Amino acid sequence: MSEQQNASVVGSKSFTAVAINCAAKAGEWIKTKLGNYASLDIKYSSHDLVTEVDKGSEKLIRSLVLTHFPTHSFLGEEGVEPGPEASVQALADVREAEYLWIVDPIDGTTNFVHGFPFFCVSIALAYKGEVIVGVVYDPMKDELFVAEKGKGAYVHGKRMQVSGEETLRGSLVATGFPADHHYALPMNLKGVAAIAPQVRNLRVAGSAALHMAYVAAGRLSGFWEIGLNSWDLAAGALLIAESGGVVTDTSGEPYHLGVRNVVASNGKLQDELIGALAKAGAIG
Ligand code: IPD
Ligand code: CA
Ligand code: CA
């Protein structure tokens, strides 16, 4: 048994069981707060929102994780100053940790605030910089997406498999409209203008982590976005890899925790999607 496998069960609680428990508990609580949050604050820009529910969800997850694994490191969105520079620095500060939990307590806060039922809790565990557990939970649909490195990815207990489309023309692709309107949004809009006419259709539903989970489940053929953070992507990247798909940066380099400009797909579309973004000058 490897060092990492040996350490993955502590006091009979596996890393994955803790991740699932955290996501389920936080998700259930978030659901009770839909249409019922008390405070809405602006973070980096008027497009970047946070509520007490985001903060409470992260607190709950953090304390559960650290109760089980007190020596592990923890990177959660709400523990980091707003804005791209602070996010990059926060990851750099903990990236070398042996065990690092990477958490987005609500991915899709704008949707949560407006009562648009498309948001999730995203929890990943990295071992020496490599994601080994990824859990995305959508409390509105009660859908739990779970992946363990080398053991596949599952939703509703059923193994996931990416879709089979071979070209952009027959594909359903998603992207996002980032909160950073200085750099990431204009870059992504260039991509939207280039990709929308080439695909069957485009979806922009407001949760990067859930879009990634949908690529893993074969519900979307691909996804890209400029200017994301480690907590948006870490869990979804493992879900896709374990479902037979491919995740890279917009230059085609393999996914790692520092990737901010992401392209994810069933694998068959990866080169065409990256090529189309590059041609449009939209790779960031
Ligand atoms: C956002 C969502 C959104 C994406 C933004 C993210 P948040 O995360 O994933 O879909 O377009 O770039 O910041 O702020 O809701 O956690
Ligand atoms: Ca997010
Ligand atoms: Ca968030």
Kindly indicate the confidence band of residue 192, based on its pLDDT and cuts at 50, 70 and 90. very high
Examine residue 284 and state whether it is found in any structural domain, yes or no: no
Q: How many CB atoms lie within 10 A of CB 93?
A: 12
Contact residues for 106 (Cβ-Cβ < 8 A; gap 6+): 30, 51, 53, 54, 57, 112, 119, 120, 121
> Does residue 171 contact residue 197 with C-beta atoms inside 8 Å?
no
Same domain for 146 and 17, yes or no, is yes
Residue 38: which pLDDT band, with cuts at 50, 70 and 90?
Answer: confident
Tell me: do 137 and 259 sit in the same domain: no
Q: Are both 184 and 130 inside the same structural domain?
A: no
Q: DSSP characters for 190-201?
A: HHHHHHGGGSSE
Q: Are residues 8 and 135 in the same domain?
A: yes
CB 78 near ligand 1, within 6 Å: no
Query: Which pLDDT belongs to residue 10?
Result: 47
The pLDDT of residue 106 is 98
Q: What is the pLDDT of residue 8?
A: 53
Tell me phi and psi for residue 275, to 5 degrees: -60, -45
Verify whether residue 109 is a known catalytic residue.
yes
On average, the pLDDT of the chain sits at 94
In this predicted structure, the answer to whether residue 12 has a pLDDT above a threshold of 60 is no
Q: Is the CB of 208 under 6 A from ligand 1?
A: yes
Asked whether residue 7 carries a pLDDT value surpassing 70, the answer given is no
Q: Quick check: 149 and 166 in contact, CB under 8 A? A: no
Question: Looking at 159, 182, 203, which one is the last position of a domain?
Answer: 159
Same domain, 206 and 95: no
Residue 61 lies in a domain: yes
Check 30, 61, 106, 283 and give the catalytic one.
106
Listed residues: CB within 5 A of ion ligand 3: 77, 104, 106
Q: Are residues 242 and 121 in the same domain?
A: no
- Does 88 lie in the same domain as 10? yes
Residue 184: pLDDT above 70? yes
> pLDDT (tens digit, 9 = 90+) per residue, 230-258?
999 999 999 999 999 999 999 999 999 99
Ligand 3 center to 144 CA (angstroms): 18
Instruction: Give me the pLDDT at residue 223, please.
Output: 98
Q: What is the mean pLDDT of residues 97-118?
A: 97
Please check whether residues 17 and 110 belong to one and the same domain: yes
Show the domain range for 134.
Answer: 3-159
Query: Which pLDDT score, from 0 to 100, does residue 162 have?
Result: 99
CA angle 145/243/150 to nearest 5° reads 90
AA identity, residue 231 = W
Q: Is 14 part of a structural domain of the chain?
A: yes
Q: What whole-number distance in Å separates Cα of residue 21 and Cα of residue 158?
A: 18
Please check whether residues 30 and 49 belong to one and the same domain. Answer: yes
Centre of ligand 2 to C-alpha 176, Å, is 11
Residue 44: its pLDDT value, please? 74
pLDDT reading at 163 higher than 50: yes
Residue 108 lies in a domain: yes
The CA distance from 77 to 70, in Å, is 19
Nearest CA to ligand 1 atom 11: 176
- Give the residue, 180 or 165, on which the prediction is more confident: 165
Query: Do 95 and 199 lie in a common domain?
Result: no
What mean pLDDT comes out for the span 70-93? Answer: 96
Residue 9 pLDDT > 80 = no
Q: Could you give the number of structural domains in the chain? A: 2
Catalytic residue among 54, 58, 107, 165, which? Answer: 107
Same domain, 248 and 152: no
